[in-house]
Structures are given as structure tokens and as C-alpha cells.
Amino acid sequence: MPLVENGQIVQDRYHYLGNDEPIPERVPVIVSVERFRADADGLIRRDGSLGVLWPNDRRIAELAPWLGHLALVALQFPKFRDGRAYSQARLLRETYGFRGTLRATGDVLRDQFHFLIRAGFDSFEVKKATDASAFAQAASRYSVVYQPSADGRVPALRKRVQRPDTADAAE
Amino acid sequence: MYIYDAFDRRLLAERVADFRDQVARRLSGELSEEEFKPLRLMNGVYLQLHAYMLRIAIPYGTLSTLQLRKLAEIARKYDRGYGHFTTRQNIQFHWIKLAELPDAMAELASVGMHGMQTSGNNVRNITTDQWAGVAPDEIEDPRIWAELIRQHVTLHPEFSFMPRKFKIAVGGSHHDRAALRIHDMALRLYRNAAGETGFEVMVGGGLGRTPYLAQTIKPFLPRRDVLSYVEAVLRTYNQFGRRDNIWKARIKILVHDLGAEAFAKEVEAEWQSIKDGALVLEPAMVADIAGRFRYPDYETLDDSPPELVAARRRDRGFDTWVNTCVTTHKTPGYAIVTLSLKPEGGTPGDCTAGQMDKLADLADHYSFGEVRVGHEQNLALPHVAQRDLPALWRELDAIGLARTNVNLISDIISCPGLDYCSLANARSIPIAQEITRRFHDLDRQRNLGRLHINISGCINACGHHHVGHIGILGVEKNGEEFYQVTLGGKADENATLGTLIGPAVPYAQVADVVEDIAAAYLDLRDKPGELFIDTVKRVGIEPFRERVYAAR
């Protein structure tokens, strides 16, 4: 499954740690929510980047106290059509101010890229290789947005008021 | 009507390009039908029994003649020469080829029209009062607020994959013509005791298998907070709405399961954290959108001009048409004219390309180039000078659009049913057609007075049968079509769900049952002026049940 970051297909630095696997030092790991909850303090003290795979049916607010210690949060799309993690992503970015890596995992396809980027994701485990190589093109498909979101793009509503001439300049 | 600017036009062009790419990937096999399905649905494309169907939004039911002529062209070029107006201010073309859809969409985009979010699990076409901007009892034009919400939820990064569809309606008058309480979310604009305008917010309405009326969760929402509050409701629903069972996935189930109060509390907590952020609506933003709604340059005229009075005295047919199809306009000397799309033996809501073109000519001449589409599946000319009514009537009559059955028993609301729809259990259109034949005598219809029949071909309730004065629901029993009949439903400001009168009846008996109900009403009403719906309310359904089932 190719990983896309900064618009490029990259090697994954992180290792998904099994629940019974011993914890390696210095290797960046992603742990399950069960493992994280069982030993959050120990995991945080370890030397090495820490990520958590957070389920989409669990309130993201639970993670808020730990965010300062996390380098990565991975959110899940069990199915393309299950969009709960979009809300979790925006809450992490906009309400809780998470600045680490936000990774989309699961059924991640080309036609979600626009929404995922706007919701604050910056790391994508893409299901199909063809979709991963089309990332840049799919990501730049829309030059106009209608709503403020985690990507900070200025929506049309505000652009119209800020500079009344931009509407015509957009042609 | 709302005039698209460069931002709107560009987004639409980008959306068409996106869809063209998706269709190409589907045709090449790169996308499976399962993967393609949610993508096409987000663009209003369904796969029906015989072909793909394209549903196009008619925001706020407002159409320019340029747009209407384009719809006629689409009907001729890509379909079979007609379109079907739905109960939610959309038009559907039922016979479009997948490979031609991107071209049809590009043509629609050239006149500012699209099928974005007319299906799929996102926020659907926002609906309003079809008489917005012309109704005498209007506090403020609700379309400005609907358009602000429409833009906000279009291709929304967070709410494009919700548990189910989400329908929002906005009302701006004392009288509810937008069926607010049967929507997932509704905003009713009103003026409070302090003289400020704001919104009553209702959530959790919907028909379908489990019908509920929406409940008020915010009695007064200030104007500046409309977008942040909508966002908080959608965010709550997106996270906590059920996804394990399609029949329990609408927001009405979440609201019902949590209780309206607990749901409101959840929304309130979310809203408090975002209400003073980027979604605050500054007056300049509202003014900018309001400024792109164009209103006709009305003449200064008096009501009831001598030409109108004389013509009504002279011609009984004309006078009947005025009484049935013409409504008061907020500007003196003007009128709103409703055009029935319910001919005897016809399909409710169908309109031919020829009628669309002719109607566009009439609208240019008589109605400042504007046509309206209502949820009753009729059309309206919203700005007709009263002195022009006699001439307009003759021209409408010539193209079969002056039928005086508006709001009468043959003005039936119906879904397409089993003749087109892959979800349906039973036919709807032939039931409607048979009823219009039984009641073809207009004097008999007028004697029955205002009476709304709504027909749905399955439990999804696209024909809104729960809120019909007489509701007819098609079900399947052992491979045969049966129909349940409800009485007493309505969708106005006193919205009520209808009550089932008894066991379902077979297809061949439905029109007989409607005749029995009509006859029972004539016996039961206390005076000729008592409306059917008021009689049902006064006497209950029992006397109707007895009449219908005595002989069956």
C-alpha cells in the first residue's frame, strides 16, 4: 500500500506495532488504541516518535490530553463511504490544535484526496498504486472552495467581501 | 433569482471536469460500479430500472427562461423529449446514457445548473417556499439564507460522506409552504419580540419507514450564527448517526434515540467551540449574496384593474381559472399564476420539451423571464401583471397548462414508482392516472374542495404519502401490488402525519377506495365550506374506515 506525503510516494518511516510485540527504541511506531491506553505514560517516555491508530467510533476528545506527545495520529476509513474520520481530523486540527502528522488509513481512494487534504490530513495510505501516482493531479482539482476548513484556504464567501474585484479576476 | 459569479462558474466547471474523469475511469473499468456509485450519486446520477437517471437541482424552485430552454434542449438531445419535476424542486431525466452525462452536465453548467448533491449521503438541494420573494406574508426572502447554506455545504470536506442524505429547508413566511417539519433540518425565519430577525431551528423530521416531525432544538438563532450552527448539527450527526443499518441512519433516528434535548445539548457544546470562529456571517457577506438575487423592476400598478374585472364578469371559464390558479402577489397589481402539470390521465410532474420552450416564451413576455417549481410538482409564473391575466390564460390554455385543478383531488403528488424506480414495490403513476380519470369532472372536483392526494410506490416516501390529506403507499404482498391508505396528513405549519385507515387494498381497488372516501366526506362535512382535512380532524378516521371496508 503506497504512502503519500508532501505529494510524493514515500517509504513509511513508521512501524505498526503489534499489541504483544516488544517496544523497540528509537524506531517510530504506531500503536493501537488498546496498547496506548494500557501504557500511555511508558510509551510517551520512550525515545522515538509515537503515533496512535484511533478508531472512528471513539470520541477524539479522549486523545486531547496526549496530543502534545504524539508525532502522528492515524485515522480510519473502514469504507470509502464511512466519513466519520473527516470530523475527527478537523477537530484534531482546528479545535485541539494538533500539528503533528495526520494520516488517513483504510479505504483511501483518489476521489477522497480533495476532501482529506481540506480536512487536515497530510499523510495518506493509498489503496491503489494508480491513485497514489495521480495524487498531485487529484489534489489540485478545485481552485475554488466554499467553506473554511483545516487547510486554511480562503472560501469564496470571504474572498468576495475582501476584494470585490476578485470575483471577476477569477475568470 | 441568484446570479452566478466567476467563483460559482469556475467551481461548476471544475466539478464537471472531475465527473468526466470519473466516468472515463468507470468506462475503462478502472473504477468498479461499487466504487463509482457514491461518486455518481454525488452528481445526481442514479442507475434505475432501464437506464441512468440524472437529477438536476432547481435551487429554491427558481428558473430563468434561459435555464428552462436549456432543460428543453437537454430533454430533446439526451432524453426522450420530456423531463419530470419532483417533489423536492428538482427535475429528472430518466433516459440518459452514461457516456453522454458529462456533456449534458457541461451544457447545464453553461446556464448555472448542476446535479451536485441531488443524491448521495451529503446535504441535498436546499429547498424553500416556491413563492419566495413574492409571497405577501413573507418576512424576508429565505433564498438568501438557503444560498448561503448551499454554498457552505457544497463539496464540504467534512460532510460529503455522512451516514445518510440530509435535507434542509428554509422558510421565511408565516405560512409554511416548504414543508419544514418533514426535513432533517429546517430553519424558520421570524421576528422576535425585540424586533430582530433570526431562525427557529428544527431537526429530525423525515418520512420513509419511520416518519417523524422535526423538533425545535433552538428557538432563536441569530443571523450571524447560521453557518456555525448548521456545522455543529452536521458534525454531531456525522460522528454519532448510525451507520450499521441504512433504515436507521437518518438524523431523525439519532434525535429520537438520544432525545431532542440531549441531541440539542450535544450540538450546543460543539457550537460553543466554533461559533465565534471563521463561520461568523458578517453583514457584508450576507449583503453580497443578497445583492446577487435579482428582482423584477415592477411597474406601479393597482390591484384588480378594469381589464381583469371585466374579463372575469364576461367569461366564467376565466373566472374559475383566476379563482383556482391565481394567487396574491406582494406587489400591488401583480399576481402569482400556478400552472398545473396534472392533466387528466397524465403523469404528475411531467413536462414536454415543447411545453418548456413555449412556457419560456410566455415567462419572457408575462413574468420577467422567471418560472418557479413547487414541491407539489406544478410550475408557476411568479410576476404576472393582473391586467395581462386574460391574455395569458388564453395562451396557457392553448398549450394545456391552464387546467383548473390546482389544489383539487386530481392535483396529485406522486413519485415515479415501479414504472421507473428500482427501489419501488408498486406502481404510482397509473394509480394517479386512474384517479384523475375517475374525477375528470371539474365541477365535481370543485365541490370536493381542497384535497391533496400523495402517492408513494415504496416506503421511502418520495411522494410524501404521510402528509397527504389522502396518502397512498404501495407495498408488495406475495408478489402483488397492494396499497395502504392514510387520512389526515398535512405538511404545513400545523404538520401532521396521516393515520392508516385499515388493511391494504389491491391495485385494482385503489381508485374505488378514493371514491368511497370522497363520498363519505360529502356525507360527513357539516357544511359545503368545511374542507376535507378539517372534516377528518373533526370526525376522525372511523367513519371513513367503516365506509371503505363495509363492502370489502
Residues B436 and B543 in one domain: yes
From B18, B121, B154, residue closest to A146, measured CB to CB:
B154
B501: nearest Cα among B550, B456, B464, B457? B550
B142: nearest Cα among B124, B122, B169, B117? B169
Residue-level pLDDT at A164 = 55
Instruction: Say what percent of chain A tops pLDDT 70.
Output: 95
* Residue A64 cell numbers, joined: 486531547
Task: Assign residue B40 the CATH number of its domain.
Answer: 3.90.480.20
B424: nearest Cα among B454, B469, B463, B466? B463
Question: Using CA atoms, how far apart are residues B74 and B26, in angstroms rounded to an integer?
Answer: 23
Q: Backbone phi, then psi, for A15, in 5-degree steps?
A: -115, 125
In the block, which residue shows the cell 429520537?
B256
* CA nearest to A156 within chain B: B7
Query: Is residue B129 a part of any domain in this protein?
Result: no
Burial of B196 (0-12, 13-18, 19+ CB in 10 A): exposed
Residues of chain B with C-beta less than 8 angstroms from the C-beta of A81: 38, 121, 161
Residues B267 and B315 in one domain: no
Residues B161 and B279 in one domain: yes
Q: What is the pLDDT of residues A1-31, one digit of tens each?
A: 899 999 999 999 999 999 999 999 899 999 9
Q: Does B151 touch chain A (CB under 8 A)?
A: yes
Q: What is the pLDDT of residues A63-78, one digit of tens each?
A: 999 999 999 999 999 9
Instruction: Look at residue A165 and tell me whether its pLDDT is greater than 70.
Output: no
Q: What is the distance, to the nearest Å, from the Cα of residue A16 to the centroid of all Cα atoms in its chain?
A: 16
For chain B, what is the domain count?
A: 4
Residues B85 and B161 in one domain: no
Query: Is residue B455 a part of any domain in this protein?
Result: yes
Mean pLDDT of A36-56: 95
Amino acid identity for residue B473 in this structure:
L
- Out of B346, B364, B398, pick the residue that ends a domain: B398
- Out of B341, B374, B398, pick the residue that ends a domain: B398
Q: What is the DSSP letter of A91?
A: I
Question: Using CA atoms, how far apart are residues A26 and B421, in angstroms rounded to an integer?
Answer: 59
Q: Does A95 touch chain B (CB under 8 A)?
A: yes
Query: Please, what's the largest Cα pairwise distance for chain B?
Result: 68
**Crossing angle of helices B510-524 and B532-539, rounded to 10°:** 80
Subunit contact B151:A146, Cβ cutoff 8 A: yes
Is the CATH number of domain A3-140 3.40.50.2300?
A: no
Q: Is the pTM of this model over 0.90?
A: yes
Q: Does A82 touch chain B (CB under 8 A)?
A: yes
Amino acid identity for residue B160 in this structure:
S
Question: Using CA atoms, how far apart are residues B271 and B218, in angstroms rounded to an integer?
Answer: 12
Question: Using CA atoms, how far apart are residues B368 and A80, in angstroms rounded to an integer?
Answer: 46
Query: Is residue B122 a part of any domain in this protein?
Result: no
Residue-level pLDDT at A170 = 44
Query: Is residue B123 a part of any domain in this protein?
Result: no
Determine the 3-state secondary structure of B486 from DSSP: strand
CA distance B162 to chain A (A): 6
Q: What is the distance, to the nearest Å, from the Cα of residue B53 to the centroid of all Cα atoms in its chain?
A: 18
Task: Assign residue B151 the CATH number of its domain.
Answer: 3.30.413.10
In the block, which residue shows the cell 432547481?
B58
Residue B418, domain extent: 413-550
DSSP for B295-319? --------SS-HHHHHHHHH-HHHH
Residue-level pLDDT at B155 = 97
- Name residues 48-67 of chain A within 8 A of B (Cβ): 59
**Crossing angle of helices B510-524 and B429-438, rounded to 10°:** 50
Residue ranges per structural domain of chain A: 3-140, 143-171
Instruction: Look at residue A167 and tell me whether its pLDDT is greater than 90.
Output: no
Query: Is residue B162 a part of any domain in this protein?
Result: yes
Give the 3-state DSSP-derived string for A6-47, with helices as H, strands as E and coil as C: CCEEECCCCEECCCCCCCCCCCCEEEEHHHHHHCHHHHHHCC
- Out of B372, B398, B424, pick the residue that ends a domain: B398
Residue-level pLDDT at B34 = 87
Question: Using CA atoms, how far apart are residues B235 and B510, in angstroms rounded to an integer?
Answer: 44
B466: nearest Cα among B434, B500, B433? B500
Residues B75 and B177 in one domain: no
Question: Using CA atoms, how far apart are residues B441 and B428, in angstroms rounded to an integer?
Answer: 22
Query: Is residue B262 a part of any domain in this protein?
Result: yes
Subunit contact B285:A160, Cβ cutoff 8 A: yes
Instruction: Look at residue A169 and tell me whether its pLDDT is greater than 60.
Output: no
Query: Is residue B459 a part of any domain in this protein?
Result: yes
Q: Does A139 touch chain B (CB under 8 A)?
A: no
Residue-level pLDDT at B379 = 94
Residue-level pLDDT at B95 = 87
Q: What is the ipTM of this complex?
A: 0.95
User: pLDDT tens digits for chain B (552 residues)?
Assistant: 788 999 999 999 999 999 999 999 999 999 998 889 999 999 999 887 778 899 999 999 999 999 999 999 999 999 999 999 988 889 999 889 999 999 999 999 999 999 999 999 999 999 999 899 999 999 999 999 999 999 999 999 999 999 999 999 999 998 999 999 999 999 999 999 999 999 999 999 999 989 999 999 999 999 999 999 999 999 999 999 999 999 999 999 999 999 999 999 999 999 999 999 999 999 999 999 999 999 999 999 999 999 999 999 999 999 999 999 999 999 999 999 999 999 999 999 999 999 999 999 999 999 999 999 988 889 999 999 999 999 999 999 999 999 999 999 999 999 989 988 888 999 999 999 999 999 999 999 999 999 999 999 999 999 999 999 999 999 999 999 999 999 999 999 999 999 999 999 999 999 999 999 999 999 999 999 999 999 999 999 999 999 999 978
Q: Does A8 touch chain B (CB under 8 A)?
A: no
Q: Does B273 touch chain A (CB under 8 A)?
A: yes
Query: Is residue B127 a part of any domain in this protein?
Result: no
